[in-house]
Amino acid sequence: MSRLLPQRVESPVNEDGFRSLIDELPVGMLWVTESGEALEWNNPAETLLASGAGLRIEQLISRLLEACRTTRTCIQSGLEVSGAERVLVSVAPDRRPDAFLVVLDRQKLEKARTEASVLRAVLKAIASSATRKQALQRALEAVHSALSATHLAFFELDPMGTQFLCAASSGLTEHEVADAVALKNDPKESVLAVTLHHNRPVTLPELSDACIPFRHERGLAAVLMPVCGRSSKGVLYLSTREGLSEGLLRLSHALADAIGAVLDLATLEQEANRAREVATQRDRLATIGQLIAGVAHEINNPLAFLKSNLHSLRGDLDDLREGRSTSPMSEVDEIVSESLEGVSRIETIVQALKGTARKKDERIRFEPAKAVQEAVTIFRGAHKQNVDVVCSLSRLPEVMGSPSALGQITLNLMQNGVDAMAELPRKKRKLEITAKQDEVTVTIAVRDYGTGIPIEVQKRMYDAFFTTKDPGKGTGLGLAICKEIAEGMGGKLTFTTGPDGTCFEVSVPVDLSD
């Protein structure tokens, strides 16, 4: 009951005809005193003042009444109560000196304008959302806000097809939502399952009261719309006191389509993430593949003198066995020491390759200098003839993330640095890898001495598949992946550039947990 209207007192018998007449009028009418106390009203006025917009209408009546008391003339003003309807409020002096007549004229807005404005609100809500759950909730809230007498919910069928879960709702109570999702996925018991099974809208007149776990109100109209995405499906529930007009049904179809697009968008986003992960791993392996020839050469050197040393050691053993030893034991010790050093060198390179080739989806606490040094070991072995690599790293605070991912960033940045110095004489090509730290951040820097990055390239260099290299010499994923990895570790990738070269810095937060 409206706060403005007291309990209705039955009209005298001789006014029954007048009462019936004003109750049948298409406009709301009420008579109020100068102080705003309601004397009489008809059914349309009572319905309006009891609606969700009733308080706003009462406030407007109060303002217009104050103006009408002063001017003693009719005062009018409009109030938009939803995206589909506005109320024109008129207050005029009655023939009785102490009374005023208030007329509430409900005016439907243009259907096309209403539908367009609601759909714009839905699309804006979806576009501004960061997650699927947020997009669904905001879409329903946008419709509920525009059509105040409307209540909505989206029930999604779980992957096993055994129960419905409420993914979003607006205007429904928790009890009503709980009643709906408690029903089994049985066509004989669940109206939600019936809707999906037949894949068509179901309206309230087609349902028995036993099937409806939602709102039991006089004059309620409701529709359930099936929603089917590529890998998920559910049911959109919409109820209203205003009746299921053609425009509202059309809007329900459009909202169901929008929700289906949100479901597909989430699936596509998951597929895009998987594709991005595959591309990242392939780029990492491609980077390592480009280094294999140089690394093989780096391994061949210790292998060569290891093989030579073993041949010499075999000869010394033969001499010892036959009693004609000519080599002192010090020479044998030296051969063994050199051989062990060669094995250690090979082991270091192999371990560095294994560490860098691991997938980057692990998340552990690690010391970043070790991961960077492994990448430098691989790179230095492959590019010893092309560039001087100066690595000055001391032990750094531990960070949280993937060692192989940080190694990949280092490899990509070093490779870009070598490419940037391709036109320089060999003696001027130098890469410097340094690190610095403060209380909360560790920063790895890779500096080259090339000619810098042109301004037009800087604008796009983090875009996936953008490259300035010749066809077949670059995927255009390197910097995009480096930036994604750094941000995934809670850090960032920055750079400074100029005619004397470019310095990229990878900053990641120190792990301060015990």
CATH number at residue 100: 3.30.450.20
Task: Say if 284 falls within a structural domain.
Answer: no
Split into its structural domains, the chain has a count of 3
The per-residue pLDDT for range 100-112, each reduced to its tens digit, is 999 998 877 655 5
Q: What confidence category does residue 115 fall into, taking pLDDT thresholds of 50, 70 and 90? A: low
Whether residue 268 is found in the same domain as residue 152: yes
Task: State mean pLDDT over 495-513.
Answer: 90
For residue 150, list its beta bridge partners: 240
Instruction: Please give the Cα distance from 247 to 215 (Å, whole number).
Output: 22
In this structure, what token pair is assigned to residue 43? 């059914």
Q: Does residue 36 have a pLDDT over 70?
A: yes
**Token pair 């000519």 in the structure block, residue:** 326
Range of the domain at 435: 360-514
Whether residue 210 is found in the same domain as residue 100: no
Instruction: Please give the Cα distance from 447 to 425 (Å, whole number).
Output: 17
Task: Say if 470 falls within a structural domain.
Answer: yes
Tell me the three state secondary structure of residue 9: coil
What pTM does this model have? Answer: 0.41
Instruction: Please give the Cα distance from 334 to 308 (Å, whole number).
Output: 13
The per-residue pLDDT for range 467-480, each reduced to its tens digit, is 776 655 555 667 88
Q: Does residue 13 have a pLDDT over 50?
A: no
Q: What is the pLDDT of residue 211?
A: 45
Whether residue 177 is found in the same domain as residue 243: yes
Q: Which residue has the higher pLDDT, 86 or 88?
A: 88
Whether residue 161 is found in the same domain as residue 93: no
In this structure, what token pair is assigned to residue 251? 């809007």
Instruction: Please give the Cα distance from 235 to 227 (Å, whole number).
Output: 5
Whether residue 379 is found in the same domain as residue 502: yes
401: CATH: 3.30.565.10
Q: What is the pLDDT of residue 212?
A: 47
Last residue of a domain, one of 272, 298, 329: 272
Task: Say if 303 falls within a structural domain.
Answer: no
Last residue of a domain, one of 63, 89, 109: 109
Q: Which residue has the higher pLDDT, 156 or 462?
A: 156
Task: Say if 347 falls within a structural domain.
Answer: no
Q: Does residue 362 have a pLDDT over 70?
A: no
Q: How high is the mean pLDDT of the chain?
A: 76
Q: What is the pLDDT of residue 210?
A: 40
Whether residue 126 is found in the same domain as residue 261: yes
Q: Which of 144-158, 231-245, 322-336, 437-451 has the highest mean pLDDT?
A: 437-451
Whether residue 268 is found in the same domain as residue 373: no
The per-residue pLDDT for range 423-436, each reduced to its tens digit, is 899 888 999 999 99
The per-residue pLDDT for range 37-50, each reduced to its tens digit, is 888 888 888 888 88
Q: Does residue 11 have a pLDDT over 50?
A: no
Whether residue 87 is found in the same domain as residue 129: no
For residue 509, list its beta bridge partners: 441
Whether residue 121 is found in the same domain as residue 263: yes
Which element (helix H / strand E) includes 60?
Answer: helix 54-71
Whether residue 200 is found in the same domain as residue 119: yes
Last residue of a domain, one of 109, 125, 143: 109
Instruction: Please give the Cα distance from 129 to 511 (Å, whole number).
Output: 30
Task: Say if 121 falls within a structural domain.
Answer: yes
Overall size of the chain counted in residues: 514
Q: Which residue has the higher pLDDT, 104 or 513?
A: 104
Task: Say if 117 falls within a structural domain.
Answer: yes
Whether residue 116 is found in the same domain as residue 265: yes
Instruction: Please give the Cα distance from 423 to 501 (Å, whole number).
Output: 13
Task: Say if 59 falls within a structural domain.
Answer: yes
CB atoms within 10 A of CB 337: 11
Write the burial class of residue 411 (CB in 10 Å: 0-12 exposed, 13-18 middle, 19+ buried): buried
Whether residue 68 is found in the same domain as residue 89: yes
210: CATH: 3.30.450.40
Q: What confidence category does residue 495 fall into, taking pLDDT thresholds of 50, 70 and 90? A: very high
Task: Say if 314 falls within a structural domain.
Answer: no
Write the burial class of residue 161 (CB in 10 Å: 0-12 exposed, 13-18 middle, 19+ buried): exposed
The per-residue pLDDT for range 164-207, each reduced to its tens digit, is 888 888 887 776 666 655 544 454 557 777 788 888 887 765 44
Q: What confidence category does residue 284 fall into, taking pLDDT thresholds of 50, 70 and 90? A: low
Task: State mean pLDDT over 152-172.
Answer: 84
